[in-house]
Amino acid sequence: MNTTLSDLEIFKENNTVKFKKGNNTIIEFNSDNPVNLANLFIEKQSANSTFSYIFIKGLILSENSKKTIYLERILNGTGLCIKDADISNISEISETCTEVNETWIACPGSIGNFTCNLTSNNTIYKISGLKHSGAREQQVYCGDSMCNGGETCSSCSADCGQCLPPPGGGGGTTGGGFFAPPTCKEEWSCSEWSSCVDGKQIRTCTDSNKCKTTKNKPSENQSCEIPKQEIKTETKICNPGEKKCSGNDTLECNSDGSEWNLIQKCEYGCLNNGCNDKPKMIGPPTGFMIVSETTLTLGVLILMAIVVVAGGFFYKTRKKKFSK
């Protein structure tokens, strides 16, 4: 097997064949039969490459088998160009991704039989559905509404416009000549402004026509200030949910701690921030009456008054008797 990769290891787990470099999978596919690696050639980008790529040649799979390849994300672009054909050099994949058997795919995304996802915290492209295998990372592609890279009116009229004869007539319509770029009218729609935070408001604006230009894009931030009537000063006098006694009443602090609310009037008085539900008992066990604390206190006072009056009367009577 010929490869530009060092320390490449090959495993077969059940029916899945995996080519790995260290802990990273490079290629994987399913195969029920032994795999002939005699004519296999694999090339991958070097460590100092400005974009990632891979192509595999000489790997013959069964009719229904498809390959999955993994590429590092170097450009941090939006997608890749797939060339599902036998190639001998990565340069056979065009810069505009418009040649035969070439397909540009957004990642994440899918088109036809191909699917691309981002793995390992968005640092690795996983491309599946390949029969033959050639793919390269690139930001420029025909159809992105921008005439850039190697695109011309002849190679990508969708981005660069139809080829026109040069001024004064004559000439042909070959690439690199005179062209009329297509026009795209921006159609912006914006979300509502956010609340005012630290003197700023933001919103998001999107172009429904996806022109990839921002000439007429509305502003997405603005200065603001909170109206004075919206500023509230609240005085907290208690903790929400706190309870206390006030005379024979039980009070509870409201949800914002601004006032006490009456939650219950207590018949037998308030005790430990709640109603006392056990009235006082007086009298012998065989015959007793139930009175409240207030009634009991009043009765004691009256009884003491009677004892004082009776004592005084008894004292005066005894004094008169002895004086005679």
Q: 38-94, pLDDT tens digit by residue?
A: 888 888 888 888 889 998 888 877 777 888 999 998 887 777 889 988 888 888 988
For the CA atoms of 12, 13, 17, 20, what is the dihedral angle to 10 degrees? -80
Residue 2: band (very low, low, confident or very high) from pLDDT cuts 50, 70, 90: low
36 and 95 fall within a common domain = yes
10 and 127 fall within a common domain = yes
118 and 155 fall within a common domain = no
109 contacts: CB under 8 Å, gap ≥ 6: 79, 115, 116
How high is the pLDDT of residue 4?
65
Phi then psi for 34, rounded to 5 degrees? -60, 150
For residue 172, list its beta bridge partners.
none
247 and 286 fall within a common domain = yes
- Residue 17 is assigned to a structural domain of this protein: yes
223 and 255 fall within a common domain = no
- Residue 306 is assigned to a structural domain of this protein: no
Farthest-apart Cα atoms in the chain, separation: 163
Residue 193: band (very low, low, confident or very high) from pLDDT cuts 50, 70, 90: very high
How high is the pLDDT of residue 280?
53
Interval 194-214 mean pLDDT = 86
229 contacts: CB under 8 Å, gap ≥ 6: none
How high is the pLDDT of residue 68?
92
- Residue 222 is assigned to a structural domain of this protein: yes
126 and 162 fall within a common domain = no
Higher pLDDT pick, 95 / 230: 95
- Residue 318 is assigned to a structural domain of this protein: no
124 and 20 fall within a common domain = yes
Q: Which of 49-63, 113-127, 219-233 has the lowest average pLDDT?
A: 219-233
Residue 181: band (very low, low, confident or very high) from pLDDT cuts 50, 70, 90: low
Q: Is the predicted pLDDT of residue 163 greater than 80, yes or no?
A: no
- Residue 321 is assigned to a structural domain of this protein: no
Interval 126-147 mean pLDDT = 78
- Residue 85 is assigned to a structural domain of this protein: yes
How high is the pLDDT of residue 127?
92
Q: Which of 87-91, 95-99, 238-242, 282-286 has the lowest average pLDDT?
A: 282-286
43: amino acid identity, one letter: E
Q: Which of 6-15, 183-192, 252-261, 271-280 has the lowest average pLDDT?
A: 271-280
Domain range holding 99? 2-137
Q: Is the predicted pLDDT of residue 203 greater than 90, yes or no?
A: yes
Q: Is the predicted pLDDT of residue 157 greater than 90, yes or no?
A: no
End-to-end CA distance of the chain: 147
Higher pLDDT pick, 68 / 298: 68
Residue 176: band (very low, low, confident or very high) from pLDDT cuts 50, 70, 90: very low
Q: How many domains does the chain have?
A: 4
175 and 197 fall within a common domain = no
Token pair in block for residue 101: 């058997």
Interval 87-106 mean pLDDT = 84
Decide: 101 and 92 in contact? Cβ < 8 Å: no
What percent of the chain lies above the pLDDT cut of 90? 8
Interval 129-137 mean pLDDT = 86
- Residue 310 is assigned to a structural domain of this protein: no
How high is the pLDDT of residue 279?
66
- Residue 324 is assigned to a structural domain of this protein: no
Q: Is the predicted pLDDT of residue 297 greater than 80, yes or no?
A: no
Q: Is the predicted pLDDT of residue 139 greater than 80, yes or no?
A: no
240 and 289 fall within a common domain = yes
What percent of the chain lies above the pLDDT cut of 70? 74
Q: Is the predicted pLDDT of residue 190 greater than 90, yes or no?
A: yes
175 and 105 fall within a common domain = no
63 and 9 fall within a common domain = yes
Decide: 153 and 160 in contact? Cβ < 8 Å: yes
Residue 63 and residue 289: Cα distance in Å, rounded? 101
Residue 30 and residue 61: Cα distance in Å, rounded? 9
Q: Is the predicted pLDDT of residue 289 greater than 60, yes or no?
A: no
pTM of the model: 0.47
273 and 210 fall within a common domain = no
